[in-house]
Amino acid sequence: MRATLTAAALAAILGLTAWSCGDAEDPLRWRGPEDLRTVLQIDSAPPGLSEAVVVDSASWFPAVELPTGQENDVEVEGPFRIEFRNTADQTLQMRYDLRFFDDTGFVIDWFIPFGQPVDFAAGQTRVEEGTFVVRTTPDLGRFGLAEMRIAARLTLLEKEEQK
């Protein structure tokens, strides 16, 4: 009898573990860094410079889910690191925000990093990194975030502003 109870308890624990982790069909399954998408979206740019800034590498990970004191909200925090490069032969200034989406393309929240605007000399590479904080619902939590969209706005930096 004791062995049967232990086997039943073990089966229940394994069942709960499998249910909470999900599988490939479950959009709220565990996501590792390799499952997360990053997209660069240029919202505005001077004529001919909409492709002047590129992302050489980007990483982000929704690491922690924190209660907010509100029943229908949680905060999700995690690190991000983006390596931008100015491919133009002109100095540019960029402002950007990070927009987080679920698997269906629904926007969950936006985050505006500190330290902006970012100035780029011609050909310069800049690394921007920090910790993002977004609010979402408890049912999505940190496993519901699937895509980080970098929405950038570019302007030419005037010569007198470069000093």
Give residue-wise pLDDT tens across range 26-42: 444 556 667 899 999 99
**pTM of the predicted structure, to 2 decimals:** 0.77
Query: Pairing mode, if any, of strands 37-44 and 147-156?
Result: parallel
Considering the domain architecture, whether residues 69 and 111 belong to the same structural domain is answered as yes
Whether 21 and 53 map to the same domain: the answer is: no
As a residue count, the chain comes to 163
Indicate whether 25 and 62 sit together in one domain.
no
Is the pLDDT at 101 greater than 60, yes or no? yes
- Quote the domain boundaries for residue 149: 31-162
* Cβ within 8 Å of residue 63, ≥6 positions away: 77, 78, 79, 142
Q: Indicate whether 69 and 134 sit together in one domain.
A: yes
